Amino acid sequence: MKIGFIGLGNMGAPMAANLTKAGHEVVGFDMADVSVEGVTMAASGAEAAKDADVVITMLPNGQILRAVADEIIPVMKKGAAFVDCSTVDVDSARAVAEKAAAAGLLPVDAPVSGGVGGATAGTLTFMAGGSDEAFAKAAPLFEIMGQKAVHCGEAGAGQAAKICNNMILGVTMIATCEAFALADKLGLDRQKMFDVVSTSSGYSWSMNAYCPAPGVGPQSPADNDYQPGFAAELMLKDLRLSQQAAESADADTPMGKAATALYEQFVEHEGGQGMDFSAMLPRFEKRGRD
């Protein structure tokens, strides 16, 4: 296929590189002066999108996605797929999909899970929203860039799945960190705490696969001085998107709201920016009860 790829940052560049390695012709564009092996660089997003069978975008937010969509939709050929892999608000995803469909395109919102490591290794998970036809056109590319793609429903469903998943992740990581900090103050050994909780009803991905306590459980960013696997500011972005979606849908999400406030405090006022989102544990360790 001829693929246009717009947004060649930490995630987009390795994704595009994997597509070229699989034999696809990739024309890329990024606002920064970047080069990706095997990718032909274009002078604009419109140039990258023109005549492409599939255009993939990986962008920072919904506002930029809407602007890029306005630029590229008019030049894309009818029947081409517009696959947005950014994590953005559901309203922007649906608005862009509507414009793309009206122009005879096949829109798919397909945010990813797996981080930069997954993008490089080609092991991402894609959560996709769009028609069956649109998903079918994008599916072979998902297989190259990732290990799993779930068709979640119509336009916006991919973003909805990503936002709900990461709201759970943010809430459970905070609960896990709180519990370790409490265990410390009760004199409970961290390894014993892990041995009990990881095989009991407190089991969670945050505890079992990504334990925030150094030296406990599988290797995680906690064992590397909390250098980010998933940065706290990215968790804050996703939690804010969850609350924006909750507001739009009139959904009561008190735990999501509280997690958003805590990550906001941590990132913006307590030095959490640039640290892994599991660095909430040392944050709680330093604090007493309010």
Catalytic residue among 50, 137, 162, 237: 162
Question: Distance between CA 211 and CA 41 in Å, rounded?
Answer: 40
Give the list of residues 6+ apart from residue 99 with CB closer than 8 angstroms, or none.
69, 70, 73
- DSSP labels, 138-197: HHHHHHHHEEEEEEEESTTHHHHHHHHHHHHHHHHHHHHHHHHHHHHHTT--HHHHHHHH
**Is 264 in contact with 232 (CB distance < 8 Å)?**
no
Residue pointed to by tokens 């599991």: 278
* 162 among known catalytic residues: yes
Q: CA-to-CA distance for 215 and 233, rounded, in angstroms?
A: 24
Q: Is 216 helix (H, G, I), strand (E, B) or coil?
A: coil
For residue 225, count other CB atoms closer than 10 A to its CB.
Answer: 10
Q: Which two tokens stand for residue 211?
A: 């334990």
Which residue(s) pair with 124 in the sheet?
Answer: 146
Alpha carbon separation from 146 to 70, 127, 234, 274 (Å, rounded): 28, 11, 20, 26
Residues forming the active site: 162
